């Protein structure tokens, strides 16, 4: 019988074509691995090209036979209109950071305490270089790559499947006979140093802008709407974790990573297993010393508990796992001149000093601004305009001034005087005082509130930001444009823009005209006709109005976060939404919390994770009549969806539980985390709203109060039986 690979494409039958495509997919994938991952090709370029050409020709004749792991998908498909949202089956959470050996020691101690382990009980960790790239997740079903996404906000990312298919490091089909039915492989997309240099050389040769650093290049390349462009970029991938998985192939972190390698996924060969803190810190020092020779950017070391059963017990905080931490490298330093200190007014009225620096490269990035934090920090460092200063990027991200080089200070130098008047609206700027301690707040704030233009614009920018209402097309510049045109002064105005289309058009066209005039004056080139520009502007406005209309319904936690209340970030917004369920309940509770001693305030404080500072901020916000007016107007325009907790098939889902006394079978922290994972709310004090009190040894006043209120009381063994966790 004639072998299919020797039959001309024009003479192949459908069965033969199907078998030939399977053979070619496997053979080309093998050669891709030899070339891209091992730098050791085993066939010539012409032989490789012949394989791909045969695959393309067969697919052209039998398009319905194209495989999910087809080599032709590596070159990119059709240009996309935009990226669809992709919800992660399990959240892609960030890691807490450690910046010193002491932080790592504290991490190890906290794990032992949480698990109730003795100091001499063995506890192993994996240590892996922390790749400075872009996080991505790959979903495989029955071993075949079916989709991929960015990390996004940890819960929802962007579907970039077609772009990820073009990466030669990512197998389109896993190999082996022990593959899980479903697995979400987590990892990092990056660009090596050598390939980054070559990429920038090509950019320069083509007259295109060069990339600032490999991470930026990877991020921009991965989010191209044209997958063919992504295919031309030298993107690589390291797999190091997983999300949803039908069956775990091992019982340790290192075991799963080794199985990844067996399945054909690229893993970092530098990962180590450490038996104690000393070996963890030794691995850190080794990676730090080898950092410059690895060939790709790393910014620290990630430690993870090796045993997966212990990872399961440790669980997660709101936005990070308890069983892992990132030990960051010290930031690089650079010397430059502090040319000015500007005071910026934030959305909450905070006056923040920003150092304007003579541009300098720090850690591969050109830095011209740095934070000075607050006026106390300026005094402590005695930073003055004209000083020579040392600058670093904290955590390799936020530039900050480390210290002043005093021996280079000029004789006419004078101390910086921090303003007591808001530079934007002229209102008094004050430092709040803690009524209990008498200590001043480190931040000076404008008292102008909503009358301060700087705060109004910043509040609007926050309102439309990605983690709030997420209104596409209403970025920083357009918010400022519409504010300056008196078209939006408060959030509700955004949803009234559809009634002011002509005014919006005038504002946008005027801005375009002004920009064109400015370019003409700057470059001496005459303006193009404005007709095409007008069409583009009107399309932009049409898209903006559509984006606004699409956001007339919003989840409760996003709505709370969008209000811009001090101390209410994403985590606290979600915590409040989870406890109040609807905006009507939340609003009634906040209006009732008019003093610290009110019942509503006590209910707030009883929520595990809510502190006095957050309660004070909520009281201050909801006692301000102008804020009520803003919310009332906004609710006329939008609908706030009730909080929907993840389905939890447990007997305690939705209940409020209080723990008191010493636990014997698990630590108090572990018990709380377990209850929360089952959908229960854990409170810090007993009230009439408490459903169950779990009483351990030596329980005190909380137990007495529970008895007085007639609340159900369970011992530790009874509690474990209820949640079906008895050994």
For residue 291, is pLDDT > 60? yes
Give one word for 619, left, alpha or beta, with left for phi > 0 and alpha for psi -120 to 50: alpha
Instruction: Give the whole-angstrom CA distance, residue 713 versus residue 705.
Output: 11
- Please, are residues 429 and 447 in contact by the beta-carbon 8 Å criterion? yes
pLDDT averaged over every residue in the chain: 86
- What is the reported pLDDT for 727? 40
- Per DSSP, what are the bridge partners of residue 355? 341, 370
- What is the reported pLDDT for 448? 66
Dump strand ranges (E) for 4-123: 85-87, 97-98
Q: Quick one: pLDDT band at residue 181, thresholds 50, 70, 90?
A: very high
Which range among 34-48, 93-107, 708-722 shows the weakest confidence by mean pLDDT?
Answer: 34-48
- What is the reported pLDDT for 281? 97
Q: Quick one: pLDDT band at residue 449, thresholds 50, 70, 90?
A: low
For residue 348, is pLDDT > 60? yes
Identify the three-state secondary structure at position 446: strand
For residue 518, is pLDDT > 70? no
Q: Quick one: pLDDT band at residue 41, thresholds 50, 70, 90?
A: confident
Q: Which tens digits make up the pLDDT trace of 412-429? A: 999 999 999 999 888 788
- What is the reported pLDDT for 37? 56
Which range among 98-107, 190-199, 367-376, 607-616 shows the weakest confidence by mean pLDDT?
Answer: 607-616
Burial of 248 (0-12, 13-18, 19+ CB in 10 A): middle
Nearest-Å Rg of the Cα atoms of the chain is: 29
For residue 507, is pLDDT > 70? yes
For residue 238, is pLDDT > 50? yes
Identify the three-state secondary structure at position 126: strand
Which of 616 and 344 is assigned the larger pLDDT?
344
- What is the reported pLDDT for 648? 52
- Please, are residues 191 and 218 in contact by the beta-carbon 8 Å criterion? yes
Q: Quick one: pLDDT band at residue 258, thresholds 50, 70, 90?
A: very high
CA-to-CA dists, residue 631 to 409, 489, 558, 614, 634, angstroms: 52, 13, 14, 19, 5
Q: Which tens digits make up the pLDDT trace of 193-203? A: 889 889 988 98
Identify the three-state secondary structure at position 339: strand
Mean pLDDT, range 305-318, rounded to an integer: 92
Q: Which tens digits make up the pLDDT trace of 645-696? A: 655 557 888 788 999 988 888 877 788 878 877 878 888 888 888 999 998 8
Instruction: Give the whole-angstrom CA distance, residue 487 versus residue 506.
Output: 11
For residue 256, is pLDDT > 90? yes
Mean pLDDT, range 13-27, rounded to an integer: 88
Which range among 138-142, 326-330, 481-485, 625-629 shows the weakest confidence by mean pLDDT?
Answer: 625-629
Highest averaged pLDDT of the listed ranges 137-141, 364-368, 436-440, 713-717: 137-141
Catalytic residue among 18, 85, 113, 130: 130
Which range among 215-224, 382-391, 401-410, 524-533 shows the weakest confidence by mean pLDDT?
Answer: 524-533
Instruction: Give the whole-angstrom CA distance, residue 172 versus residue 142.
Output: 11
Instruction: Give the whole-angstrom CA distance, residue 423 versus residue 425.
Output: 6
Instruction: Give the whole-angstrom CA distance, residue 56 versus residue 285.
Output: 49
Both tokens assigned to 424? 């934007």
Q: Quick one: pLDDT band at residue 1, thresholds 50, 70, 90?
A: very low
Q: Quick one: pLDDT band at residue 570, thresholds 50, 70, 90?
A: confident
Which of 41 and 468 is assigned the larger pLDDT?
468
For the chain, the straight-line distance linking the first and the last C-alpha, in angstroms and rounded, comes to: 62
- Please, are residues 658 and 686 in contact by the beta-carbon 8 Å criterion? yes
For residue 95, is pLDDT > 50? yes
Burial of 512 (0-12, 13-18, 19+ CB in 10 A): middle
- What is the reported pLDDT for 324? 97
Known catalytic residue: 208?
Answer: no
For residue 552, is pLDDT > 60? yes
Query: Which run of H or of E encompasses 369?
Result: strand 365-371
Nearest to 194 by CA among 299, 298, 295: 295
- What is the reported pLDDT for 435? 52
- What is the reported pLDDT for 680? 82
Instruction: Give the whole-angstrom CA distance, residue 67 versus residue 647.
Output: 36
> Kind of pairing, strands 440-446 and 429-433?
antiparallel
Task: Sketch out the chain's domains with CATH numbers.
Answer: 4-75 (1.10.287.610), 97-328 (3.30.470.30), 333-447 (2.40.50.140), 453-549 (1.10.150.20), 553-641 (1.10.150.20), 656-722 (3.40.50.10190)
Which range among 297-306, 430-439, 488-497, 534-543 shows the weakest confidence by mean pLDDT?
Answer: 430-439
């Amino acid at each position: 019988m004639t072998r299919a690979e020797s039959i001309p494409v024009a003479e192949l039958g459908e069965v033969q074509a199907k078998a030939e495509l399977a053979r070619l997919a496997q053979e080309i994938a093998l050669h891709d691995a030899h070339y891209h991952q091992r730098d050791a090709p085993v066939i010539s370029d012409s032989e490789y090209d012949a394989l791909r050409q045969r695959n393309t020709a067969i697919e052209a004749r039998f398009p319905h036979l194209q495989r999910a792991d087809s080599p032709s998908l590596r070159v990119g498909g059709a240009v996309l209109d935009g990226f669809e949202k992709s919800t992660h089956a399990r959240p892609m959470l960030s890691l807490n950071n450690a910046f010193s050996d002491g932080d790592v020691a504290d991490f190890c101690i906290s794990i032992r305490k949480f698990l109730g382990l003795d100091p001499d009980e063995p506890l192993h960790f994996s240590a892996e270089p922390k790749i400075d790239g872009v996080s991505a997740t790959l979903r495989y079903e029955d071993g075949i790559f079916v989709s991929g996404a960015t990390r996004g906000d940890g819960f929802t990312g962007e579907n970039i499947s077609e772009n990820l298919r073009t990466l030669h490091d990512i197998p389109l089909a896993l190999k082996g006979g022990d593959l899980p039915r479903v697995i979400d492989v987590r990892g990092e997309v990056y660009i090596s140093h050598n390939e980054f240099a070559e990429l920038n050389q090509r950019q320069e040769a083509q007259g295109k802008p060069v990339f600032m650093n490999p991470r930026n290049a990877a991020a921009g390349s991965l989010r191209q709407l044209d997958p063919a462009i992504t295919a031309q970029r030298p993107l690589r991938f390291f797999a190091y974790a997983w999300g949803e998985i039908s069956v775990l192939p091992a019982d340790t972190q290192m075991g799963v990573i080794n199985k990844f390698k067996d399945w054909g996924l690229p893993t970092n060969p530098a990962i180590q297993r450490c038996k104690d803190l000393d070996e963890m810190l030794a691995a850190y020092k080794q990676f730090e010393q080898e950092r410059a020779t690895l060939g790709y950017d790393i910014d620290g070391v990630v430690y993870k508990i090796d045993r997966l059963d212990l990872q399961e017990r440790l669980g997660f905080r709101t936005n990070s796992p308890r069983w892992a931490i990132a030990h960051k490298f010290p930031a690089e330093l650079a010397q430059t001149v502090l040319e000015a200190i500007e005071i910026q007014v934030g959305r909450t009225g905070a006056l923040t000093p920003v150092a304007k620096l003579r541009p300098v490269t720090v850690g591969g990035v050109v830095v011209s601004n740095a934070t000075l934090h607050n006026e106390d920090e300026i005094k402590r460092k005695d930073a003055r305009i004209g000083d020579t200063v040392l600058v670093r990027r904290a955590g390799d991200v936020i530039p900050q001034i480390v210290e002043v080089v005093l021996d280079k200070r000029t004789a006419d130098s004078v101390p910086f005087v921090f303003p007591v008047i808001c530079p934007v609206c002229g209102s008094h700027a004050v430092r709040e005082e803690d009524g209990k301690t008498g200590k001043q707040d480190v931040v000076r704030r404008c008292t102008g509130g909503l009358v301060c233009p700087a705060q109004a614009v910043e509040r609007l920018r926050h309102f439309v930001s990605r983690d709030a209402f997420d209104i596409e097309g209403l970025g920083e510049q357009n918010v400022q444009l519409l504010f300056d045109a008196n078209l939006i002064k408060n959030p509700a105005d955004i949803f009234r823009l559809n009634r002011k289309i002509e005014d919006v058009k005038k504002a946008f066209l005027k801005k375009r005209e002004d920009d064109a005039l400015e370019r003409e004056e700057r470059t001496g080139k005459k303006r193009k006709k404005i007709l095409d520009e007008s069409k583009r502007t009107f399309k932009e406005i049409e898209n903006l109005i559509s984006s606004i209309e699409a956001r007339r319904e919003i989840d409760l936690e996003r709505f709370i976060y969008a209000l811009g209340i001090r101390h209410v970030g994403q985590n606290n917004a979600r915590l409040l939404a989870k406890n109040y369920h609807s905006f009507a309940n939340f609003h009634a509770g906040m209006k009732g919390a008019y003093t610290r001693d009110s019942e509503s305030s006590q209910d707030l404080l009883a929520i595990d994770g809510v502190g006095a500072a957050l309660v004070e901020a909520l009281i201050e916000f909801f006692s301000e009549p102008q804020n009520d007016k803003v919310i009332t107007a906004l609710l006329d325009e939008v609908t706030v969806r009730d909080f929907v907790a993840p389905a939890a098939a447990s007997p305690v889902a939705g209940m409020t539980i209080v723990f008191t006394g010493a636990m014997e079978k698990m630590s108090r922290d572990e018990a709380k985390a377990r209850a929360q994972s089952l959908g229960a709310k854990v409170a810090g004090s007993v009230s009439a709203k408490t459903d169950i009190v779990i009483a351990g040894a030596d329980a005190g006043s909380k137990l007495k109060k529970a008895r007085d209120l007639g609340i159900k009381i369970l011992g530790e063994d009874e509690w474990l039986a209820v949640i079906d966790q008895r050994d």
